[in-house]
Amino acid sequence: MTEPCPSCGLLDRVQHVPAAYHGGHSYYRGRGPAVAVPAGDGVVVTNSQVSGVTVTAVARALDPFPPPRRGGGLLAAAIALALAGSCCLLLPLSAADDPPPGGAAAKALGFTVLSLPAFAVYVAVGVLVWLSVRRVRAHRRQRRGVPAARQVWEQGWFCHRCGGVYFADAGRLLTPAHFRHLVARAGGYDR
Ligand SMILES: [Zn+2]
């Protein structure tokens, strides 16, 4: 058993933080509204399946994990840009088949000017790939910090009466946000 809540001095509504966190998740599965599906000449009326999870505000406030990584939007943008850059590359290549009038210097200048869009696009692709790699690395570092963060998280006690968290050895009630910050700092993902 732990120390009583430092704010109200009682124990009856105190719960271990992991228990409060997991208790705030409910999973549901059921039948949704009826939908008509065309089948041959007629329609078949069937019920759609629905399932999901509801999370209470308390559970969300006690979540010890780093924010999930967003999808590979950056990488998709880089690929799209690379394709666009390949189209830009056609400009100088087509000019090589049909050289503009003028000397060798004018030809070189024209070729350089036509190559600029492709060059700029490829620089942008490089920057996007670099940002994407950086994000993946940051996410890996966060995942590595989770066990250390969990150790701190598992020492917390949540008082449902006061809505705060405390550690058994420190006599001060913390807000859930402050507690989460301490947990994230232990995991090295407080930025
Ligand atoms: Zn309390």
What SS3 state is found at 17?
Answer: helix
Q: Calculate mean pLDDT across residues 81-89.
A: 78
pLDDT in tens, 104-141: 777 778 778 888 877 888 888 888 889 888 888 888 88
The answer to whether residue 112 sits within a structural domain is yes
The answer to whether residue 131 sits within a structural domain is yes
The answer to whether residue 63 sits within a structural domain is yes
CA 21–ligand 1 middle distance (angstroms): 17
CA 153–ligand 1 middle distance (angstroms): 18
The answer to whether residue 183 sits within a structural domain is yes
The answer to whether residue 4 sits within a structural domain is no
The answer to whether residue 87 sits within a structural domain is yes
Residue 37, number of CB atoms within 10 A of its CB = 9
CA 67–ligand 1 middle distance (angstroms): 28
- Please state whether the predicted TM-score (pTM) of the whole model is above 0.75: no
Domain span at 136: 14-22+58-187
Number of domains making up the chain: 1
Phi, psi of 16 (to 5 degrees): -60, 140
If pLDDT is split at 50, 70 and 90, which confidence band does 97 have? low
CA 9–ligand 1 middle distance (angstroms): 6
162 vs 165: CA distance, rounded Å: 9
Q: At what angle do helices 176-187 and 104-153 cross, to 10 degrees?
A: 120
If pLDDT is split at 50, 70 and 90, which confidence band does 164 have? very high
CA 164–ligand 1 middle distance (angstroms): 7
The answer to whether residue 156 sits within a structural domain is yes
